[in-house]
Amino acid sequence: MEHILTPKVEEVKLLDRYTAKKPAIGTLYLTATHLIFVETSCNTRKETWMLHHLIATVEKLPLTAMGCPLHISCKNFHVAHFVISSERDCQNVHQSLVRLSQPVEELYAFLYNPKQDEDERRNGWGFIDSAMDFKRMGLPNEFWEMTDLNKNYELCSTYHSELGIPKTASKGTVFGSAKFRSRGRIPTLSYYHKESNAAICRCSQPLSGLSARCVEDEEMLQAISRANPKSTFMYVVDTRPKLNAMANRAAGKGYENEDNYSNICFQFVGIENIHVMRNSLQKLLEVCAMKSPTMSDYLTGLENSGWLRHIKAVMDAGVFLAKAVAEDKASVLVHCSDGWDRTAQVCSLASILLDPFYRTIKGLMVLIEKEWISMGHKFTQRCGHVDGDPKEVSPVFTQFIECLWNLMEQYPCGFEYNEKYLLEIHNHVYSCQFGNFIGNCQREREEMRHLISFSLVYFFQTFEIVFNLIEYQLHYLFDRFWCGMYNHFDKGMQPKQSILDHLLTITQKKAEGEKKMTDLQILAVMDGVLADQGSPTGTPPEQTSLSPVSVSHTAENAKPLMNGAAVEEAEIELVPTAGSEKMEPVAIEN
Amino acid sequence: MFLCSHFILTQPVTFLVKHQQRCQEMEFAELIKTPRVDGVVLRRPFLPTVEGTLCLTGHHLILSSRQDNTEELWLLHANIDAIEKRFVGSLGTIIVKCKDLRVIQLDIPGMEECLNIASSIEVLSTLDSVSLMYPFFYRPMFQVIEDGWKSFLPEDAFKDLESMTEEWRLSDVNKDYSVCSSYPPLVAVPKDVDDDTLRKAAAFRHGGRFPVLSYYHKKNGMVMMRSGQPLTGTNGRRCKEDEKLINATLRAGKRGYIIDTRTVSVAQQAKARGGGFESEANYPQWRRIHKAIERSSILQESLIKLVEACNDQSHSMDRWLSKLEASNWQTHVKEILTTACLAAQCIDREGASVLVHGTEGTDSTLQVTSLAQIILDPACRTIQGFQALVEREWLQAGHPFQQRCSQSAYSNSKPRCEAPVFLLFLDCVWQILRQFPCSFQFSQHFLVLLFEHTYASQFGTFMGNSASERSKLNLSQKTVSLWSWVNRPQEVERLSNPLYEANCLVIWPSVAPQSLLLWEGVFLRWKRSSRCLDEAYDEMVHIIQYNNKELQNKVNNLRRQLAQLETEEPLLQTP
């Protein structure tokens, strides 16, 4: 709390980002966790909440005639432009926010600790458990086993303690291979496709340099290949552009030489590195922030950012993997440089394409746990949670979420979850509550479930049969800029009425209606009981089929209850709320 | 269903043959060298190939597999925009490119047959004679409940206006189309202005299109008018009657806005050709605003580029975006919507009356006036209301449909007056519909249907270029109206938006580039499978119907039973 120099500033203006509309005037509050702007100029109480952890940059701009401008941009793409009349207040707020938005590292609750996770599991928190997921895939089986070779994280410090490896790979092979892989990230199982016996494995780049080779690593790949006896070859996919991979050879790293490994089919898929992606997002955000751009400015900016091209590259790679497994029935080994960014993206996308489980709410959590957290995606650095090297920040996870959104746009009935779930996950990742959300805190998860509740329609569609289709459609789909993500806080740009919200309201009403109906039925039955008593043709068997509650009711207490219900009923409107309400700007932003 | 002959239909073969015989007896016989070829294969993206017999009739290209329960293709010749021939040995292939942007491939065995078919299609799809057009031959196979030709008469529309205000009257000054050839016989004008003034004002406006009422805003009594450009010329000619006419629409002490859909420089250039704009000096009560909606020839080019980009399958992501950008289509959409919003804003927010015109007043002007009404008037967002709007603001208002829609994006011949003016309007409506998915009674199917029928149709609705041409062709007697087809319960149901809830407010769409999407339902319609999207749509309909109907019914039933029991209860308790 000692960081908060001025807890409250009055007469603050919030400028509209796009139009020259009159700025909103209100009061700015600084709390330990949030920056809150309460608009006082209009009759409805409109609040804007910004979580300190989400703040990416706070900028104090030069004094103007209006006052002292303060520009805040958040990691969830929320941008706010305040004008504070007193320069001193502005200075104080700025200083406080700079401190509050960059927490001290050791205080950080986020750092992921697998050991702690084990404890959690022992406590019966098996909801998100990647080991369970391997069991679900049918492991261990005659080809694959789960090994605890990494139980003390000696094999690889950034991997999970339990790893899926081919049965035929000896301990020597595994440890030998680890020495030949960047940071010891050996080839390990990511997804096992029961139907075809083909597997998706992931690792980091080999330390092949210009000519080095490693017998154990070659054996390791052979073992993976043999674990899929029906296929005569396996794919080795390097997700980097060829040029980048070649440059790595000079540094003693590089990629697999097809001559040294038997029966591998080597392939580059050309996803750019974290720095290119970071810059691309930066450009994309500049496009989003343009004031009244022309259509041309916007499309040109979108194109020059290259963002959609990068999204497509990730998606294409995911489709390539899924097709290799489902159609060619061949196993795939994927890596990039360290195998924790691009590799995580494409492995998780391929899993979603192949397995309907990951299209459920729980399944996506499992997938994120399995492919991202337990395989050492550096959330802390990539999301810029702590004040670290800005060059380590990159929207790798954001891209994965966007790919998923694109798939959902195409297959609206293919997913149990909806866009809100993705946005929520994205928000949580950046708000540093990720550890809570995935592993520790049941409450948080309950909240999530409550918020997102469910998808409206959800068939377990198998995507395999429509691979070609996906590929074909991807082509066109990617002119789709995700307005709901990058301009999420510019409500004016969103559709003014949301089909999803509408349907959610309806389904909620339906649930209420159904509940009401059950109540009515109970009442009807109770009245029936009454009637039965009076009528000679009473049918006792019916009574026994009722719930005990209704039977225990007497005529006296049934009546008021019924009246009460009748009043309530009158208020229930089965028809959803009028669109007129939705036309008004959303009252609360946070 | 088999009415919409450019859809895929299921029809008994016997009917097909009879139809063919009938047509051969007619004047088309000599144009059809080979009326029938067996063993033709039809290929379409995302649909199974069909092998069968190809028949050419005077108006249709029909492909039937001659098996029960299989698809048949019925394609109106009028829907064919261009064809390409290719030969591999004796197997010929005709690629048929349609005005609804679909592309299909026909593999025809036999070079001579293929050549004959191709040349017949070419001739039949470009017949110049209006009297040979399909609507004159088409006989409805459905029961006409309400004759669409009589559904939206100007007199009826005026009755609504009369109930709201007495400041306007219906003038029949144009009853023989002599004052303005592109206006209908009846137009609404200020009550205080006599027909003589109208005649003089007409002489001062492009095409005789003197300012007439387009829309009356009930909320505040403000109006929107439209006209052709004033013929000021380089000398700055003026016309007292014209000034009087439009000033008559202003309340005392009020100012109005003139929205010129052209940029200042384009409007300036028009002076050299005798056109121009209203000068501040002569129209002191009016503030003029210039916008930048492009002329029709540029729009046609834009459509061609857009469709080319959509059909190009080789490009990478970036080139797709740059091609989309280069087509300028989205720019036009944004500009038109922005101008419509401006007009609506002047009326609703500023409380001012508006006059809209461009050059002729038959294209961009109508885009703006009709879209402003969609924004302002909830009635235009219903199925009937939208038909009335199209009838009033496009057909009666003299948009030259026949000229504008005789070719679409694939045609090789040099465009003359073709332009996707109406399609752009539909695109803008779709953009608003997407942003307000619960405020329209119709779904995008209705917009797509209108797009199709403007380019090729069995109905007479979009024939001709003006009310006078339509009356000369005697369309209301000799052809069936599209509205007769649309306003049947089963069709209304098909076109309805399940999410609709009447919304009486003004709806302000966002015109930010991020908010405007490419209309995939038209431009990528044949380029992708919509199966999954259709499934989702059906499911959505199901959810809503279940909730609204079934559950409601169940609850109501129970309630009724309870109520009955309740009334019986006292009787039961008394003993």
Contact criterion met (CB below 8 Å) for B447 and B434: no
pLDDT reported for residue B67 = 76
How many Å separate Cα B211 from the centre of its chain?
Answer: 23
- Confirm or reject contact between B272 and chain A (CB < 8 A): no
Of A294, A309, A494, the CB nearest to B317: A309
CA separation for the pair A274, A337 (Å, rounded): 11
Please indicate whether, in this complex, the C-beta atoms of B520 and A412 are within 8 angstroms of each other: no
Contact criterion met (CB below 8 Å) for A227 and A168: yes
Rounded to a whole number of angstroms, the distance from the CA of A514 to the nearest CA of chain B is 7
Show residues of chain A in contact with B540, CB under 8 Å.
Answer: 456-457, 499, 503
Q: What are phi and psi of A418, to 5 degrees?
A: -130, -175
Note the residue count of chain A: 590
Known catalytic residue at A347: no
Which residues have C-beta within 8 Å of that of residue A382, sequence separation ≥ 6? A274, A341, A392, A393, A394, A395, A396, A397
Listed by number, the residues of chain B in 429-468 with a beta carbon closer than 8 Å to a beta carbon of chain A are: 434-439
- As a whole-number percent, the residues of chain A with pLDDT over 70 amount to 75
User: What residue in B sits closest to A306 (Cα-Cα)?
Assistant: B318
Q: Tell me the pLDDT band of A4, cut-offs 50, 70 and 90.
A: confident
Phi-psi category of residue B46: left, alpha or beta, with phi > 0 → left and psi -120 to 50 → alpha = left
Show residues of chain B in contact with A513, CB under 8 Å.
Answer: 547, 551-552, 555
Which tokens sit at A413?
């009935």
Provide the sign of the torsion angle of the four alpha carbons B312, B318, B319, B325, taken in this order: positive
Can you tell me the mean pLDDT for B379-390? 97
What's the pTM value of the predicted model, to 2 decimals?
Answer: 0.87
- H-only helix segments in B349-400: 364-376, 383-390
Of B322, B558, B565, the CB nearest to A517: B558
Which residue, among B510, B525, B546, B573, would best test binding to A if mutated, counting the most A CBs under 10 Å from its CB?
A: B510
Can you tell me the mean pLDDT for A183-206? 94
Residue A437 confidence (pLDDT) above 60 = no
User: What count of other Cβ atoms lies within 10 Å of the Cβ of residue B247?
Assistant: 15
pLDDT reported for residue B318 = 63
CA separation for the pair B491, B449 (Å, rounded): 11
Please indicate whether, in this complex, the C-beta atoms of B504 and A298 are within 8 angstroms of each other: no
Q: Tell me the pLDDT band of B71, cut-offs 50, 70 and 90.
A: confident
CA separation for the pair B320, B323 (Å, rounded): 5
E strand or H helix at B50: strand B47-56
Rounded to a whole number of angstroms, the distance from the CA of B336 to the nearest CA of chain A is 12
Rounded to a whole number of angstroms, the distance from the CA of B445 to the nearest CA of chain A is 17
Please indicate whether, in this complex, the C-beta atoms of A299 and B544 are within 8 angstroms of each other: no
Please indicate whether, in this complex, the C-beta atoms of B501 and A575 are within 8 angstroms of each other: yes
CA separation for the pair A190, A332 (Å, rounded): 10
- As a whole-number percent, the residues of chain B with pLDDT over 70 amount to 92
Instruction: Please state, in angstroms and as integers, the Cα–Cα distance from residue B498 to each residue in B132, B440, B543, following that order.
Output: 40, 9, 10
In the chain, the amino acid numbered A146 is M
Top-confidence residue, B552 or A304: A304
Q: Tell me the pLDDT band of A479, cut-offs 50, 70 and 90.
A: low
Q: Tell me the pLDDT band of A363, cut-offs 50, 70 and 90.
A: confident
Of A296, A523, A524, the CB nearest to B325: A296
CA separation for the pair B423, B437 (Å, rounded): 20
pLDDT reported for residue A533 = 39
Instruction: Please state, in angstroms and as integers, the Cα–Cα distance from residue A333 to each residue in A135, A146, A239, A493, B134, following that order.
Output: 21, 18, 11, 42, 61
- Confirm or reject contact between B569 and chain A (CB < 8 A): yes
pLDDT reported for residue A407 = 86
Parallel/antiparallel/unpaired status of strands B60-64 and B47-56: antiparallel
Residue B72: HSE in the Cβ half-sphere, 13 Å Cα cutoff: 27
User: What residue in B sits closest to A498 (Cα-Cα)?
Assistant: B437
Show residues of chain B in contact with A288, CB under 8 Å.
Answer: 514
Residue A587 confidence (pLDDT) above 50 = no
Tokens 């293929």 belong to which residue? B114
Torsion of Cα atoms, A83 then A84 then A87 then A89, to 10°: -140
Write out pLDDT tens, residues A321-330: 988 998 899 9
Please indicate whether, in this complex, the C-beta atoms of A299 and B322 are within 8 angstroms of each other: yes
Residue A136 confidence (pLDDT) above 80 = yes
Can you tell me the mean pLDDT for B93-108? 96
Write out pLDDT tens, residues B256-308: 999 999 999 999 999 999 999 999 999 999 999 999 999 988 999 999 999 99
pLDDT reported for residue A432 = 62
Listed by number, the residues of chain A in 280-339 with a beta carbon closer than 8 Å to a beta carbon of chain B are: 288, 292-300, 302-303, 306, 308-309, 312
The reply, when asked if residue A273 is annotated as ligand binding, is yes
Top-confidence residue, A95 or B542: A95
Query: In 3D, which of A149, A152, A215 has the Cα closest to residue A188?
Result: A149
Please indicate whether, in this complex, the C-beta atoms of B513 and A298 are within 8 angstroms of each other: yes
The reply, when asked if residue A340 is annotated as ligand binding, is yes
Rounded to a whole number of angstroms, the distance from the CA of B534 to the nearest CA of chain A is 9
Report the complex ipTM.
Answer: 0.88
pLDDT reported for residue A356 = 84
Residue A441 confidence (pLDDT) above 50 = no
Can you tell me the mean pLDDT for B465-469? 96
Can you tell me the mean pLDDT for A436-446? 44
